[in-house]
């Protein structure tokens, strides 16, 4: 979502926060800013809700131990 002005950075930080890629030392300041800006708060809520929906509603395929072993062996030989 592109927003005019300095909000772009804040919205990018929302995405980083939800993806757990925002540095831990920046989280407190980010959350304070997000609370102060209603649009950022809505975006944060929407992103968290979407991530939760995906995590809880999409089935995860399991990988057999043989395939995992094969992948590990291939990585070790490269």
At 25-76, the pLDDT tens digits run: 999 999 998 888 888 899 999 999 999 999 899 888 888 999 999 999 999 9
For the chain, the domain total comes to 1
Is pLDDT at 5 greater than 70 in this prediction? Answer: no
What's the burial of 14, exposed, middle or buried (CB within 10 Å: 0-12/13-18/19+)? Answer: buried
Give the residue numbers spanning the domain of 40: 7-77
| 2 found inside a domain | no
- 1 domain residue, yes or no: no
| Global pTM exceeds 0.75 | no
User: 73: Cβ–Cβ under 8 A, 6 or more apart, which residues?
Assistant: none
């Amino acid at each position: 979502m592109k927003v005019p002005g300095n909000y772009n950075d804040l919205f990018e930080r929302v995405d980083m926060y939800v993806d757990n890629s925002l540095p831990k030392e920046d989280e407190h300041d980010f959350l304070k800013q997000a609370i102060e800006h209603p649009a950022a708060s809505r975006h944060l809520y929407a992103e968290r809700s979407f991530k939760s929906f995906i995590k809880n509603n999409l089935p995860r395929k399991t990988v057999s131990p043989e395939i995992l072993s094969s992948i590990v062996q291939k990585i070790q030989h490269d």
